[in-house]
Amino acid sequence: MPWSMEDYPASLKHLDKPVKKKAIEIANAMVDEGYDESRAIPIATSQAKEWADNRSKSELKSYAEEADETVRGDSGSSSRPELAEKCEHVIKHEKGWAVKAEDAKRASEVKDTKAEAVERAKEIAENKGTAVIVHKKDGSVERKIRMN
């Protein structure tokens, strides 16, 4: 049974309504794609927080006021669907290697190794149906990984 705004994991309890709603939407889509529920929730929570960080207050309010129906398999953003099409980038960071969505203001995560960052970027990109662009230390593009 898919999660909803009335029935969701306890770890989402303290999230603001739009973030919780987006996390439920993403987690439902991830479970449909074969992710284990125990992995889907933290990943979806992280992505929902990043999603909210890139929205205006009015967009968040509008999203929160939409019907609370969450349907598995519908992981796109209704307010700004173009953001769901942005690639994930793996870039050098002062604390390791960062995973950052194209045009995002900040990295969603920083990993100790490049390999860990690439794996995390692949998970996110697969969920979004986009690609991963891996950069070298100097910032130039090393390779592109299509996830479709």
Distance CA 47, CA 51 (A): 6
Separation between Cα atoms, residue 60 and residue 27, nearest integer Å: 19
CB of 14 closer than 8 Å to CB of 111: no
Q: What percent of the chain has pLDDT over 70?
A: 86
Where on the phi/psi map is residue 83: left (φ > 0), alpha (ψ -120 to 50), or beta?
alpha
pLDDT digits (tens, 9 = 90+) for 130-140: 889 999 999 99
pTM, whole model, 2 decimals? 0.47
Give the 3-state secondary structure of residue 47.
helix
Extents of the domains making up the chain: 10-65, 81-146
